[in-house]
Amino acid sequence: MEGAMFWGNYETLCMVCLLFFPSIYRNVSDLMVIPCFEIIPTSFARRVIPKALMPLEISGQTIGEVRTVLDMHERKAVMAREADAFIALPGGFGTMEETLEMITWSQLGIHKKPVGLLNVEGYYNSLLALFDNGVKEGFIKPSARDIVLSAPTAKELMIKMEQYTPSHEHVASHESWQMHKLGDYPGQ
C-alpha cells in the first residue's frame, strides 16, 4: 500500500481518534507526529481474528485487545454487534466480502448502522458502478442503494455517516430475525 492509499487509511484512523478521543487529540496535526501504532488508546483498539488466521494476521507488536474466534462468520457477528458503523478502507476480497455482508444485513433489517466506502483515488469506483448497474437492471432497489455511502476522504465520509438515516425498506423487521437468541447477536 503506497501513497494516497496509505494516507487515506491513516486519515481515517486520525478522524476516528478525533471523534472518539477529543480530549486527547485536538486536531489532525496532533496525530501526524504519533506513530500509527500509538494513535488509538489500547482500551479502544480491538481486533477480532479467526483462529486459523492468527499466524497470518498477527505480526509484530499488537495493540489493545486481540480476540480469537472460531470462524469468519463469528468474526463478522462480533464486529457487527460491537461497531457503531462500518468503514471499508481500500482492501482485497476479505474486505469486500465483509462489507457486502454488512450491506446485506442492513438491507435485511439485521442492523441499521451506516456502511461507508473510503473511495481513495477512486478505488471503489467499479464496485459503486456495479451497485448502480444493479439498480438500473432492477436487482437492487433504489432505496437499498442508499445503504452504501462513499467519499474520497475520511472527513467527507464521516460527515455522511453521521448524517445517515436508513431510508430503505427492510426485508424483515429487526426483531423478526431473533438474533438475540444466537450467541453472536449483531445488535442494531
In a domain, 182, yes or no: no
In a domain, 76, yes or no: yes
**What pLDDT, on a 0 to 100 scale, did the predictor assign at position 111?**
85
In a domain, 67, yes or no: yes
Q: pLDDT for 38-75, tens place per residue?
A: 444 545 556 778 888 888 776 566 656 778 889 888 88
Instruction: Report the number of distinct structural domains present in the chain.
Output: 1
**What pLDDT, on a 0 to 100 scale, did the predictor assign at position 35?**
42
In a domain, 97, yes or no: yes
In a domain, 185, yes or no: no
What CATH number is associated with residue 143? 3.40.50.450
In a domain, 46, yes or no: yes
Looking at the DSSP bridge assignments, the partners of residue 69 are 50
Q: pLDDT for 66-108, tens place per residue?
A: 788 898 888 888 878 877 888 888 888 988 998 999 999 998 8
Q: Which residues, in sequence order, are CB contacts of 177 under 8 Å at separation 6+?
A: 108, 109, 110
Question: Residue 95 is part of which domain span?
Answer: 13-20+32-163
In a domain, 5, yes or no: no
DSSP per residue, 74-137: HHHHHHHHH-S-EEE-S--HHHHHHHHHHHHHHHHTS----EEEE-GGGTTHHHHHHHHHHHHT
In a domain, 2, yes or no: no
